[in-house]
Structure 1
């Protein structure tokens, strides 16, 4: 049984206060995602210098290059909000900066998802050489989509205030 949700008027904050709060929340979220993508990207950069890399076939090398590009793009999108904020600071554009930084963060999360899946695909192709690889990767994609997008969308819909 669900607890009854009380209707509230929300926070009493000015547009500037809301933008400041949202910016702080966004920075905390970006810090988590940035750390993960930067560690993954760092490992990806070293792969090409390992002896095993030269033994990979053209398909696996192509998957590696795609993975590396996705990781670089994810880094750019997740570091983008910091650069964006720095370049517009002091120009009274914080609400707009929060909106655009939030969009960049979503793009970065999608690119991070693609990077993780692509890296996982490459590792399983090399490790297993098995027809189960696509199924394992598909299951991981489903899991990430559920955790990162479907569940939040469901909660947002399920608990949205009724008008």
Structure 2
């Protein structure tokens, strides 16, 4: 079997699946990953939405209120972006466009991850700012942002470089 034939059958990496089966598997992977993103951000959004009802919230500075409102918008943005994959799936359902759905779903998921990283770093910035002051907030936010960026980019890129696929 030539390389072209094996690629057409989806066996270039040891999987014996048709292109349609590969698109289905890829879409299922994207759905699972979106569920994880949604759960984490929904919990964080719920936390953010309860803050105005806390007594200490009235003591926030204008800067802290601004950071808080940006975080609420970011939490909503992550949720809307992640749910856009669901809306897209519903609107192209049974249109034989799974390959397009997987491509768009990948962009949606990456966008949700970037926005989630910003949301996590911003939340740490906000909490540290309230508890420790401006400097503590900035340091905490930067540490989380850099740590998240490293874990979410450097580790996957290192894995891509190694390409030690054990499937046959």
With the shorter chain as reference, the TM-score category is 0.7 to 0.9
Match of 1:84 among 65, 84, 88: 88
Q: CA deviation at 1:157?
A: 2.2
Q: Equivalences for 1:103-118 in 2 at 5 Å?
A: 103-118=107-122
For residue 24 of structure 1, give the secondary structure of its aligned residue in structure 2: helix
Name the counterpart of 1:41: 45
**Structure 1's 130 and 92: CA in aligned 2 closer, same or farther, altered over 3 A?**
closer
Greater share of helix? 2
Q: Are positions 1:57 and 2:61 aligned together?
A: yes
Aligned equivalents of 1:97, 1:124: Cα separation in 2: 40
Among candidates 139, 144, 149, match of residue 145 of structure 1: 149
CA contact (8 A) 2:130 2:137 kept: no
Aligned counterparts of 1:112 and 1:22: Cα–Cα separation in 2: 22
TM-score (ref. length: structure 1):
0.88
State the partner residue of 1:131: 135
Distance of 2:46 and 2:149 partners within structure 1: 24
Instruction: Indicate conservation of the 8 Å contact 2:126/2:137, yes or no.
Output: no
Q: How far did 1:160 drift?
A: 7.3
The runs of at least 4 aligned residues of structure 1 exceeding 4 Å deviation read none
RMSD after superposition:
1.7
Spell out, residue by residue over 1:122-150, the C-alpha distance to the aligned partner (whole angstroms, 9 max, x if none). 10000112634322322221211111111
Aligned residues of 2:128 and 2:136 also touching (Cα < 8 A): no
What residue is the counterpart of 1:4 in the other structure? none
Unaligned runs of 5+ in 1: 1-7
Structure 2 spans left out of the alignment, 5+ residues: 1-10
Q: What are the superposed Cα offsets for residues 43-83 of structure 1, whole Å, 9 maximum, x if unpaired?
A: 11111222211110100000001111111101111121112
Give the 3-state SS of the residue equivalent to 1:52 in structure 2: helix
Question: Partners in 2 of 1:130 and 1:65 — Cα distance?
Answer: 17
1:66 lines up with 2:66 in the alignment? no
